Amino acid sequence: MHRNHRATTISATVVAVIAAALGLAACSPATPSGTPTSPAAVRDGVDGLSPGQLARDFVTAFNDGDAHALAGLFAEHAEFVNIYGIRMSGRTGIEQGHEHAFVSRLDGASLEATDVRERRVDSDVTVVQLGWRLQRDHDADPALVVPDSSGVLTFTALRTDGAWHFITGANVTESTPPS
């Protein structure tokens, strides 16, 4: 199948803009050193793993409290913004931010995927929206942990050398709009 030149140029431009904005032009998709601790980390770098499955693996790593596996789903120079607007830069920042959250405000919380949607932008770029519901343990201190809530995580996934990684992620909670 042939794509027209204009669509290819626009798609290449989208990829270039995203990559340039995040400093990914020379980025390697390799996972951080260390032994993978989840199925997501073991499959990292395998062509054919869909971006939607990466989002599901985010939920698994979250529920396992495995910040290393969660961060392994992201490219080295990725950006993640949590529900509080806290920006985590790079795979290391994403791992450190989630390590801290898992032992504090997310301790005892469980995440459920309610909906996963993929929107292919290009053969190597996909936007994934993951609907989620968060529940905390019944005995958790409501003053110290994230309350039961729901929302949408939006990821941009980039395939490099046959492997998909998230290059951006942003999380928002659902709320009732003002009248």
Q: What is the pLDDT of residue 31?
A: 34
pTM above 0.85, yes or no: no
Q: Which residue(s) pair with 145 in the sheet?
A: none
Q: What is the 3-state secondary structure (H, E, C) of 94-137?
A: HHHHHHHHHCCCCCCEEEEEEEEEEEEEECCEEEEEEEEEEEEC
pLDDT exceeds 60 at position 134: yes
Alpha carbon distance 70, 95 (integer Å): 7
Q: What is the pLDDT of residue 141?
A: 78
Give residue-wise pLDDT tens across range 93-116.
999 999 999 999 898 899 999 999
Residues 6+ apart with CB under 8 A from 50: 118, 164
Q: Residue 97 carries which side chain, given as an amino acid letter?
A: G
Give residue-wise pLDDT tens across range 27-47.
333 333 333 334 444 344 434
For a pLDDT cut of 70, what percent of the chain falls above it?
73
